[in-house]
Structure 1
Amino acid sequence: MNIRLLYLTREPFPTFRVDVATLFGRYLPKFGVYSDVVALQEGEVGEHAWEAGGVFTRTARSRWGRIWARLMLALDLFRLARADYAAVQVRDRIVGALIGLWAARLWRKPFYYWMSFPFPEYWSERGSPDPSRLVGAGRRLLFRLRGRLSAWLLYRRVLPAADHIFVQSDAMRTLLASHGLPAARMTPVPMGATIPDRIEDIPPADDPRLAGRRVIVYLGALERARRSEVMLEAMAAVRDEFPTALLVCVGDAEEEIERLWFDGLVGQLGLQDHVLFTGWLPGEKARRYLRNAEIGLSPCARTPSLEVASPTKVIEYMAWGVPVVANDLPDQAYLIGETGGGICVPLTPEGFAAGILQLLRDPAAARRMGEAGRRAIPALRSYEVIARNLAGKYRQLAAGEAR
């Protein structure tokens, strides 16, 4: 039995998010689960951009135009949901989820909510006092108001009425249960990765700045909220023992003021020759840096919004045979414990420096750790396995609705 979802996403289309583009776009159709995406369009949509179903988009250029277009996309669900869909599913939208819930009820369709990130908690955190003064008082007030309103809508109106909730992790299920939501109506779907068949066939990054260096890689966003600065501060101690060590940050900060802060920190620490920021790169090009890397890093603060995360970078490091140094965020600690593919350290400069130095001093042990992670991670977090299990859940829900 094939299943087709009407899927309103927070991310623009085409999207870089692997749990949309890869899980829903490539793997779920193999198991008979298709989805028609409803999203704001940014960039060119190629002929084969979404082979898992149809695409319904609106475009906008200005900030207010995007806000209006996103509202209209949610309202489009009233028209679209009358078609033969197994369910209406909304990902990470909050006002859009309320509209999607109403549209699903109008056409007597199940309503599912996909929660990859707890935005109410995140906005509340952004509204807290900022000692660095990177965020002004007026903006913090707006974040606090947004956090409270979105929490009320999501936890008091949308999720109690949802037929099912897909969450990012067991920790997120616990978070939602603390709001009085029944755990039986939640299914954790953690992040995964596409596992390369033959890593040796993939060429390393062709970057002359890496020649003769002992490369340490970080894939992802640079954010003070995540405590990304910890790994930069750790490099001061690493440099003293290994002068050829180079931390390559493949990614960027979302806001220019934050990126300038990280640039300033590198200058203060005198690490200009030991830290390289590449900026955002296409996925395949970014992952080629893993072929150059001896170690992959994943610092992530244990705040209410991040505690429930399932960082993709740890899975990708392991999938590419790169040993991991990460702090004890629940999902990271679980993966390291299950696979033996890394070291769990305190989220401090001293903790990360000790983990990095341990692996740099013993390359043979580091290689064994990387190989252990690569052997174990497919059964835990390959998208093939995740999609098979998720398709089974959709069929179980559809059968229950039919009864």
Structure 2
Amino acid sequence: MRILYFIPESWPTFRPDIAVLFGKYLAEYGLTVDLATDGDDSGASWNAGRTLFFRAPAGAVPDTPWRFFHTLTVLLRVRTQKYDAVQVRNMPVHAMFALWFCRLTGAQFYYWISFPHSEGQIFRAARRGWTAGFRYFLPMMQGHLGKFLLYKVILKRADHVFVQSARMASDLAERGVPIAKMTAVPMGVDTTLADPEKITGIHDDRLIRKRVVLYLGTFDERPIEVLLEMAAVARRSIPELALVLVGDSYHQSRRDSLHRLAQELGVSDIVVWVGWVSPDLGWRYVRAAEVGVSPVPRGFLLDSSSPTKVFEYMALGVPVLANDSPAVEDIIRESGAGLCVELSGANLGGALVSMLSDKVALKEMAERGRNYVVNSHDYKKLAAETADVYARLLRSDTRPIGK
């Protein structure tokens, strides 16, 4: 089986549902995936197939014209390269061209949705306002065009649609996409790497004799303010608390506002700002924590998301404290690996105190979380299930190579 896969992320990418699921495990089931995007082979290698990369000229912003030209150039090879299917991820306009080429050549067409990309473009443009000029009008136009194409054409005519969660499938079914034509492939973890037996907690002098609660991820479009408020509430009962923030913002103004808020709330002395670090080092900080937090703003964009950090916490034996985002709430309920409360500093702070006050319960949550990920969200298992879907679609045998 041979698939041509267009992705919007540059290579190398940190996205495990690309690098691990397709780049590592699906190849074991005889699936060859040629990757088309911008990037180069100087970093991580792509072992699942060929790489079809482009590089926009230095200073070219945005890369949209170059990406379109690259997409069309690569699509011309669909017939000669004898692809069984073309798959596009989160790019509705590019998917329209791919769908057309597939209908001309007889290849199957699949669409992969990990995030409502078009709605995200519209949301971010609206937040900037028309005074942002080009940074408002271009994404607003792309978002509305992509949304129209996605729901009116692409999802209805695709041979199959892969979604991020069962909740996303349910949302799309309400828009008329047949449930039978969708497969939910949630985020997962490579548990051979994220193994608490192999990864030791970081030695950081700032964490000595502290009760550590940790957040791992971006500060952008995430309610980090609520975590600072949580820390202000929880420290009243747990004075030795330390809030470790592993990640950062891409905007200096965002960093400055968070540091100011920490000072105003009186928690600057217990917040450890780690910044961006390698995944390996980030996991060592996770191993040093007693609780991992995952605040997700409520709304259409993220209610159906399947957050990687929650599964990473669980895989590394760390209980999870999250808010009532529907997809996350489903995970916590199924796993018994933490608590979910409504999103506020007071609610999270109270729940954190409750969790840290019962070490026996924390240990049980940690064990349940690790078991849940190993049994349900390990990428080796997800790859086997996803390979079965491709086998059914392409009517091929996908027994692991060598077995």
Change (3 A) 1:58 1:127: closer
Give the one of 294, 311, 320 matched to 1:315.
311
Structure 1 counterpart of 2:59, one-letter code: S
Structure 2 counterpart of 1:67, one-letter code: T
Q: Name the structure 2 match of 1:258.
A: 254
Change (3 A) 1:138 1:173: farther
Give, in angstroms, the shift of residue 290 of structure 1.
1.4
Give, in angstroms, the shift of residue 24 of structure 1.
0.4
Cα distance in 1 between the residues matched to 2:77 and 2:208: 54
Structure 2 counterpart of 1:138, one-letter code: T
Q: Name the structure 1 match of 2:239.
A: 243
Q: Name the structure 2 match of 1:201.
A: 198
Change (3 A) 1:178 1:141: farther
Cα distance in 2 between the residues matched to 1:169 and 1:305: 13
Structure 1 stretches of at least 4 aligned residues deviating more than 4 Å after TM superposition: none
Matched ranges for 1:29-178 at <5 A: 29-41=27-39, 45-46=42-43, 49-60=45-56, 61-64=58-61, 66-82=63-79, 83-128=81-126, 135-139=128-132, 141-142=136-137, 143-178=139-174
Change (3 A) 1:141 1:50: closer
Give, in angstroms, the shift of residue 378 of structure 1.
1.2
Cα distance in 1 between the residues matched to 2:75 and 2:140: 31
Structure 2 counterpart of 1:210, one-letter code: L
Larger mean CA deviation between 375-384 and 192-201 belongs to: 192-201
Structure 2 counterpart of 1:215, one-letter code: V
Cα distance in 1 between the residues matched to 2:170 and 2:251: 31
Structure 2 counterpart of 1:54, one-letter code: R
Give, in angstroms, the shift of residue 37 of structure 1.
0.2
Give, in angstroms, the shift of residue 66 of structure 1.
2.4
Identity %: 38
CA RMSD, aligned part only? 2.0
Q: Name the structure 2 match of 1:285.
A: 281
Question: Which protein has greater RCO, CA pairs closer than 8 Å, 6+ apart?
Answer: 2
Q: Name the structure 2 match of 1:190.
A: 186
Q: Quick check: 1:192–1:315 contact (8 Å CA) kept in 2? A: yes
Structure 1 counterpart of 2:67, one-letter code: R
Change (3 A) 1:136 1:289: same
Cα distance in 1 between the residues matched to 2:94 and 2:248: 29
Q: Name the structure 1 match of 2:400.
A: none
Cα distance in 1 between the residues matched to 2:295 and 2:271: 16
Q: Quick check: 1:359–1:365 contact (8 Å CA) kept in 2? A: yes
Taking structure 1 as the reference length, what is the TM-score of the superposition? Answer: 0.91
* Counterpart check, 1:389 vs 2:402: no
Cα distance in 2 between the residues matched to 1:120 and 1:280: 27
Structure 2 counterpart of 1:59, one-letter code: R
Q: Quick check: 2:34–2:52 contact (8 Å CA) kept in 1? A: yes
Give, in angstroms, the shift of residue 340 of structure 1.
1.0
Matched ranges for 1:307-346 at <5 A: 307-346=303-342
Aligned partner of residue 107 in structure 2, secondary structure: coil
Structure 2, unmatched stretches of 5+, are 397-403
Q: How many residues align?
A: 390
Q: Quick check: 1:234–1:353 contact (8 Å CA) kept in 2? A: yes
